[in-house]
Amino acid sequence: MRLVAPLAVLALLASAPTVASAQTAPGRSGSSTERVIIGGRDIWDDLNEFGECFAAQQTKDAIRLVTPEAGSVEEARVYKALFSKETACLGDLAGLTVPWQLVRGSVGEGFYKRGLPLPPNLAFSRDLTPDKVKSVMDAATCYAARHPADAQALIERTKPDSKEQAAALDAHWSDFVACLPPNVPAGFKFDTLLLRYRIAESLWRLGYAKGRTQ
């Protein structure tokens, strides 16, 4: 089965998803790209199940997907190549149209939740400072490194795009904002589902294991 990603959507999303062009979510403002989703919040649980399956059962391909810079044109190319062929983990998700960043995000969270080995070349530094932050992934990495217990609680104790996720992010939003560079416009809003996924992948790439903060 194949995960559908129309070329028009790929072209739109390949533009430059960074801190200054993250998707919009309720409670955060700024420029946005549209999610094309039908099926309610539960579809994100299904997407996460796919991410865990793909990370665990098709690890080589999953590593290929998370190796390019998050949100880059190269990531889009890898995504298209991977999901233009049969993928056993998709199940009922075949035909779902979603931004590829969220597919990559579910796989990144899958790596973390399954506790899969981290290739040394994908490891992130734990000392990324706000002035070096240039993307949502960078900001998520900074936050996860500074507040690993809170980041892990977000991923392990909430479901994607849920009220509990929103509450957890709101409770620690000032800690995340402290990781943003000074040139981010005041009041800029983030897609909190995309941010969740970036935090999850960052935890894995920082070397944190599910249930442990060391």
What's the pLDDT tens digit per position in 29-65? 333 333 444 456 778 988 999 999 999 999 999 999 9
What's the pLDDT tens digit per position in 71-119? 999 999 999 999 887 778 877 666 667 788 999 999 999 999 999 999 9
Catalogue the long-range contacts made by 74-77 (C-beta closer than 8 Å, 24 or more residues apart): 75/100, 75/101, 75/104, 76/10, 76/13, 76/14, 76/100
Judge contact between 47 and 98, C-beta under 8 A.
Answer: yes
The Cβ of residue 170 has, within 10 Å, a number of other Cβ atoms equal to 11
**pTM summary value:** 0.81
Cα distance between residue 32 and residue 190, in whole Å: 9
